[in-house]
Amino acid sequence: SYELTQPPSVSVSPGQTARITCSGDAFPKQYAYWYQQKPGQAPVLVIYKHIERPSGIPERFSGSTSGTTVTLTISGVQAEDEADYYCQSSDSRATYPGVFGGGTKLTVL
């Protein structure tokens, strides 16, 4: 089955830049989606179609691709950005959301 690989954890100090990667063989052909989840809350979409930002999401959140790796970048990290982040995509032949990465815990030091 198709898998997306994320680092378990990333730590940054406030004001620094956090980068969370997600690797998958179907990138970049298949779009990546990124979700933020805070404790006890439902996930929230922060990036769609690799690089697009939904309305209401701060500009410090951005997405990029390089080969079979996609990256969520949070510039000028704030304490409120501490959360779990998940990438999501589909295998090479699918259009439905079939797979999530294992998630990355972002810690703001």
Partner 1 sequence: EVRLVESGGGLVQPGGSLRLSCAASGFTFTNYEMNWVRQAPGKGLEWLSYISSYGTTIYYADSVKGRFTISRDNAKNSLYLQMNSLRAEDTAVYYCARAESYGGNSGLFSWGQGTLVTVSS
Secondary structure string (H, E, C) spanning 25-64 = CCCCCCCCEEEEECCCCCCEEEEECCCECCCCCCCCEEEE
Q: How many CB atoms lie within 10 A of CB 79?
A: 8
Q: Least distance in Å: CB of 42 to partner 1?
A: 4
Give the residue with the Cβ less far from partner 1, 37 or 69.
Answer: 37
Give the residue with the Cβ less far from partner 1, 54 or 76.
Answer: 54
Contact 70, 104 (CB under 8 A): no
Residues making contact with partner 1 (CB under 8 A): 1, 30-31, 33, 35, 37, 42-45, 48-49, 54, 84, 86, 88-90, 94-103
Q: Least distance in Å: CB of 73 to partner 1?
A: 18
